[in-house]
């Protein structure tokens, strides 16, 4: 069965980050800290075709931690694992330490 999905055009494949609900010590975390929906980019498309035969670079890259929009995206399952496809323009930003 297929193991890898390469997105088309300016699409990006994202694995959602599920925020921990308790600390490693077992203490329950308040709901407040879970408000930002984020994910890890696992694959990006080649970009939309430009006017001059070029490709418009995709706004995020593989490995980026990205903020996810509240709505939209397409749910896909690869090896029973859930991923989401987004157009790069729908990704509001990237997260850094």
Q: Which residues bind a copy of itself (CB under 8 A)?
A: 1-9, 11, 13, 32-33, 35-36, 38, 43, 45, 49-54, 56-57, 59-60, 65, 67, 69-70, 74, 76-78, 80, 85, 88-89, 91-97
Q: Shortest approach of a copy of itself to residue 61 CB, angstroms?
A: 11
Parallel, antiparallel, or unpaired for β 38-44 and 11-17? antiparallel
Q: Which CB atom, from 26 or from 31, has the smaller least distance to a copy of itself?
A: 31
Q: Cα–Cα–Cα angle for 89, 19, 40, nearest 5°?
A: 35
Q: Answer positive or negative: Cα dihedral of 12, 68, 64, 31.
A: negative
Q: Shortest approach of a copy of itself to residue 26 CB, angstroms?
A: 18
Please give the structure tokens belonging to residue 73: 């995206």
């Amino acid at each position: 069965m297929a193991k890898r999905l390469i997105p088309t055009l300016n699409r990006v494949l994202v694995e959602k980050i599920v925020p921990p609900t308790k600390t490693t010590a077992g203490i329950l975390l308040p709901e407040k800290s879970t408000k930002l929906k984020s994910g890890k980019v696992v694959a990006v498309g080649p970009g939309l075709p430009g006017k001059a035969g070029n490709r418009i670079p995709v706004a995020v890259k593989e490995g980026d931690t990205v903020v996810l929009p509240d709505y939209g995206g397409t749910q896909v399952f690869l090896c029973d694992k859930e991923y989401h496809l987004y157009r790069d323009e729908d990704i509001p930003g990237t997260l850094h330490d």
